[in-house]
Amino acid sequence: MFEKNVPKVVQDCILDSGIQAKVVAQKINKPYSTLMREINPFDASAKLGAETLLEIMKVTHDIRPLQFMAAEMGFSLETGNA
């Protein structure tokens, strides 16, 4: 097992969503192959942009990436309705 990083958390978010990654890619208007590279924790040359991350969280209804980033900064999030 390896240390968690943002791409791994996002990858888990998509894999656990019950939505096929190809469908997520379509919903966020990103080529499937590009999305797969951006969420691959072993591909250091592909970067996941903030706007893409936000769209992934909206589609999957999963805020674990945001929670992970907050924890890395020494913060925690309160969940609630926006």
Q: What is the pLDDT of residues 1-24, one digit of tens each?
A: 457 899 999 999 999 999 999 999
How far apart are alpha carbons 40 and 6 in whole angstroms? Answer: 10
CA atoms within 13 A on the CB side of 42: 2
pLDDT value at position 35?
96
Q: What is the pTM of this model?
A: 0.88
Q: How would you classify residue 29: left for phi > 0, otherwise alpha for psi between -120 and 50, otherwise beta?
A: left
Domains located in the chain, CATH noted: 6-72 (1.10.260)
Give which of 65, 52, 61, 49 is closest to 9, Cα–Cα.
65
- Give the whole-angstrom CA distance, residue 3 versus residue 22: 26
Q: Which residue ranges in the chain fall short of pLDDT 70? A: 1-2, 81-82
Classify residue 41 by its DSSP letter: T
Could you tell me which of 41, 66, 42 has the C-alpha nearest to residue 56? 66
